[in-house]
Amino acid sequence: MLSRNIQAKLERCLKLFPVVVLVGPRQSGKTTLARMACPDWRYFDLEKGSDRDFITADSDFFFREYPDRLVIDEAQACPHLFGELRGVVDADRNRKGRFLLTGSSSPDLHRRVAESLAGRVAVIELGTLKMNERYGLPLSPFFALLDSLPAEQHLAELKRLPVAVDTARVLDHFLKGGYPEPAAVNDDTFHAEWMAQYQQTYLQRDIRALFPGLAIENYRRFVSMLSELSGTIINRSEVGRTLNVSESAIRDYLDIAQGTFVWRNLASLERTVSKSVVKMPRGYVRDSGLLHHLVRVREKEQMFTRPGTGAAFEGFVIEELIQGLHAVEGASWTFNFYRTRGGAEVDLVMTSPKGVRIPVEIKFGSSTRRRDLRGLIGFVEQEGCPYGVVINNADEVRMISDKIIQLPTGCI
């Protein structure tokens, strides 16, 4: 079983809250992580009919019998459970670490948790495998230093970062993505078949069950179209015209894709010195292996000739950064992209809990010319950032200018 970066945070939250909810895409390893973190707890799976019937037939009796040390898997299958849990928790409000719930493929899950368990619950998101998890390496020190050290100390430490993952393995992970089962088997034929089955299950089981009135064929075409639009600003009216559906339907489809952890919206950074900021969100398919499956890219050589690879790689690196910072135990960071109507652009702006902004430019190539960094350099000067970061497929850490540092992707 692969070690997960988020496990220490999960175990910490179990000591602080009565209920912890572990959310993420289906087949991302939530059940495995729950069993690793709580190996001697009782386990029930709400997608198993007998377990669901046992819990729902008489919930009062069930929680009297199992008042704590309980894992409930796929909790979104039983929506009223959250209301029941509130009463159980409030009957003994000071007891911590009683219930661990997992949930996937449900935009409704966060709303129900917020309504029923506010103040009683920690919600932790588990994505598909990050690079270091796939290769059995510890989380890069990059994330701990960002979250703990003052910004003025960052550059000195960043210069000493090890390149833990070489370019060949970076590209392999970018191509295949991070779903644990195909990553563990490491067979190309199995990987292709597994991804096809995953896509089919997502559309025909999860989405049909959650949204019985949804036009599945339209949504299937929309998901395929998203794979080509990953890393771009989505013009809902144009997408709607292409699919011959309304703009409001596209808005709903985007909400479904994000709520089921297929897509991540990255909001525009609007509170800046510039008054000409583009305010529309940008998004990307969260798992690069799923994206490459949808666009029928099966081999590394195809990535080098596909026009959308640069944008796909941006999304891949952004997800690596977000997952890494989510795994450290400090306070929350925020993530945005920046673009002005004049064309100045920064792929990612990471803002610390103290308001320090670290802009990041992402390049698929192994070298980056200074003239290609005018947007990044301009943003650092405009916003008074301590430094900017270029992440690419180079093989060494080096300074590009006084305030711009190059980090190979293998550093993160």
Domain that holds residue 103: 7-125
| Chosen domain end from 125, 150, 181 | 125
Minimum mean pLDDT among 10-19, 117-126, 243-252: which range?
Answer: 117-126
Record the tokens describing residue 86, joined without a space: 């509130």
Q: Is 212 helix (H, G, I), strand (E, B) or coil?
A: coil
Is 207 in the same domain as 340?
yes
| Residue that the structure tokens 């970061």 belong to | 389
- Name which of 44, 42, 48 is nearest 68 in CA terms: 42
- Residue 358 pLDDT grade (very low, low, confident, very high; cuts 50, 70, 90): very high
How high is the pLDDT of residue 330? 66
Q: Going by C-beta distance under 8 Å and a sequence separation of 6 or more, which residues neighbour residue 155?
A: 386, 387, 405
Is 174 in the same domain as 64?
no
Backbone angles phi, psi at 269, to 5 degrees: -80, 110
- Name which of 381, 411, 382 is nearest 390 in CA terms: 411
| Percent of the chain with pLDDT strictly greater than 90 | 70
Strands 388-392 and 345-351: unpaired
How high is the pLDDT of residue 106? 66
| Chosen domain end from 69, 94, 125 | 125
How high is the pLDDT of residue 273? 73
What's the one-letter identity of residue 393?
N
Is 143 in the same domain as 184?
yes
| Chosen domain end from 73, 94, 125 | 125
83 versus 173: the higher-pLDDT residue is 173
- How far apart are the C-alpha atoms of 194 and 25, rounded to whole Å? 15
- Specify the number of domains making up the chain: 2
- Name which of 97, 43, 39, 46 is nearest 68 in CA terms: 97
Is 197 in the same domain as 334?
yes
Q: Write the pLDDT tens digit of every residue in 288-320.
A: 999 999 999 999 999 999 999 999 999 999 999
Straight-line distance from the first to the last Cα atom of the chain, in angstroms, rounded to the nearest whole number: 22
Is 406 in the same domain as 311?
yes
Q: Write the pLDDT tens digit of every residue in 242-300.
A: 999 999 999 999 999 998 999 999 999 988 777 677 777 899 999 999 999 999 999 99
CATH number at residue 25: 3.40.50.300
Tell the burial category of 19 from Cβ atoms under 10 Å away from its Cβ (0-12, 13-18, 19+).
buried
What's the one-letter identity of residue 155?
L
| Contact criterion met (CB below 8 Å) for 380 and 404 | yes
Backbone angles phi, psi at 176, to 5 degrees: -95, -20
pLDDT at 331 over 80: no
How high is the pLDDT of residue 9? 94
2 found inside a domain: no
358 found inside a domain: yes
- Residue 84 pLDDT grade (very low, low, confident, very high; cuts 50, 70, 90): confident
Q: What is the mean pLDDT of residues 196-221?
A: 89
Is 235 in the same domain as 382?
yes
- Residue 128 pLDDT grade (very low, low, confident, very high; cuts 50, 70, 90): very high
| Contact criterion met (CB below 8 Å) for 177 and 295 | no
Mean predicted lDDT score pLDDT of the chain: 91
Is 97 in the same domain as 146?
no
Is 181 in the same domain as 75?
no
Is 314 in the same domain as 378?
yes
Is 151 in the same domain as 175?
yes
Is 41 in the same domain as 120?
yes
Is 104 in the same domain as 168?
no
Q: What is the mean pLDDT of residues 374-386?
A: 93
365 found inside a domain: yes
